[in-house]
Amino acid sequence: MEYAIEVRNLTKRYKGFTLDDISFALPQGTVLGLIGENGAGKSTLINSILGIADSESSLTAMLGLDMKTHSKKIKEDIAVIFNDSHYDINLTPKIIGHILSKVYKNWDAPLFFEYLERFDLPEKKKIKKLSTGMRVKLEFAAALSHHPKLLILDEATSGLDPVFRDEILDILREFTEDEDHAVLMSSHITSDLDKIADYIAYLHEGKMQFVKTYDEIRNDYGIITCGQELFDTLSRDDIAAYKKEPYSYRVLVKNRAKLRQIFQDIPMENASVEDIMLFYVKGEKVK
């Protein structure tokens, strides 16, 4: 299998926080959703992968190349989008297009202006006069117009209205139809990831809790509401986390198919990506 991103044993230490021994891989042709609460380390991980933040790792590779030795070549083929424009606010989209034509070998000016029209972005209006959503749209227009093979989005859709977010998700689906393309998408809008992600990586307090396919998450996790007696009979290996309520337990289980066979009469809800994150953050782990 070919990987768009491969990270092994990445560690980044700040005072009071450690991104601890992170390993994961993003296969080409897929979308990986990176989730976690604020402060979990998502942006730190992205900045470390990109070399913006210094970190230690046994391997950080993109598009089959080691980031330490081939960063210039890699940056030709990747695009990074944050949740606000990083361009000079006194520039216009038209001027930005001219600048980027000098930066990227594969710059496609007709495509850039096609995106400006599609996103209703005025060519000659200064960025400082654009709304937050329009600035993010400009980031997408610029990113997609040099034909990258890898897109990295750090909360990039958070400032967009639902209609345009849905349009961006369609664009990302089209993008990954090419098996040489991939997307790493950090987002707290888990409903977006429900629509598009092939894999989910969950960071919590600087540690990678799991990296699973979206189908594994839908098939493996479930939520049971039960009393003390049933809770005590559950194998601790099957419980991801639980919440104690006044007269019952809400339990996130991680071996749904097996438990359905054992407890056939117990209702079991589907667990969304958001449910899983909330249980890990606000629930309790079994001892």
Amino acid letter, 64: G
Tell which of 188, 214, 240 closes a domain: 214
Per-residue confidence (pLDDT) for residue 164, from 0 to 100: 86
Query: Is the same domain home to 227 and 176?
Result: no
Confidence of residue 224 (pLDDT cuts 50, 70, 90): very high
The pLDDT value given to residue 6? 95
Indicate whether 134 and 177 sit together in one domain. Answer: yes
pLDDT confidence tier of residue 194, bands split at 50, 70 and 90: confident
Average pLDDT over residues 153-167: 86
pLDDT of residue 115: 95
Of 191, 214, 237, the position where a domain reaches its end is 214
Average of per-residue pLDDT across 161-188: 91
Residue 82: the pLDDT is 83
- Nearest of 80, 49, 33, 84 to residue 189 by alpha carbon: 33
Strand-pairing partners, residue 10, are 22
Q: Does 133 map to a domain?
A: yes
Binned at pLDDT 50, 70 and 90, residue 267 comes out as confident
- Based on the fold, state whether residues 234 and 207 are members of the same structural domain: no
Report if residue 287 sits inside a domain: no
Residue 134 forms part of a structural domain: yes
Cα–Cα separations (whole angstroms), residue 15 to 47, 51, 53:
17, 19, 14
pLDDT tens digits for range 1-43: 799 999 999 999 988 899 999 999 999 999 999 999 888 999 9
Within a domain: 169: yes
67 & 134 share domain: yes
d(CA 197, CA 31): 5
Domain count, the chain: 2
CB of 5 closer than 8 Å to CB of 183: no
Could you say which of 168, 189, 214 is where a domain stops?
214
Collapsed DSSP state (helix, strand, coil) of residue 274: helix
In eight-state DSSP terms, residue 157 is: T
* DSSP code per residue over 3-21: EEEEEEEEEEEETTEEEEE
d(CA 123, CA 94): 5
Which percentage of the chain shows pLDDT scores above 90? 60
Range of the domain at 103: 3-214
Instruction: Give DSSP secondary structure letters for 46-100.
Output: HHHHHTSS--B-SEEEETTEEHHHHHHHHHHSEEEE-SS--S-TT--HHHHHHHH
Q: Rounded to the nearest 10 degrees, what angle do helices 93-103 and 109-118 cross at?
A: 150
Residues 22 and 94 in one domain: yes
Interstrand relation of 59-62 and 3-14 (parallel, antiparallel or unpaired)? antiparallel
Confidence at residue 83, expressed as pLDDT on a 0 to 100 scale? 74
Residues 195 and 233 occupy one common structural domain: no
pLDDT value at 44 more than 80 = yes
For the segment 229-239, the average pLDDT, to the nearest whole number, is 90
Q: Looking at the structure, do residues 206 and 276 belong to the same domain, yes or no?
A: no
pLDDT category of residue 140 using cuts at 50, 70 and 90? very high
CATH code, domain with 149: 3.40.50.300
**What is the structure's pLDDT at 266?**
84
Residue 161 sits in the same domain as residue 259: no
Q: Are residues 204 and 273 in the same domain?
A: no
Position 197 in a domain? yes
Do residue 206 and residue 166 come from a single domain?
yes
Mean per-residue pLDDT over the chain, rounded: 91
Residue 26: the pLDDT is 96
pLDDT band for position 262 (cuts 50, 70, 90): confident
Q: Name the band, by pLDDT with cuts 50, 70 and 90, for residue 127.
A: very high
Please name the residue that has the structure tokens 């601790």: 236
Q: CA-to-CA distance for 202 and 125, rounded, in angstroms?
A: 39
> Does residue 179 form part of some domain?
yes
**Do residues 183 and 176 lie in contact, with contact meaning Cβ atoms separated by under 8 Å?**
yes
Same domain, 272 and 160: no
pLDDT of residue 34: 96
Do residue 179 and residue 269 come from a single domain?
no
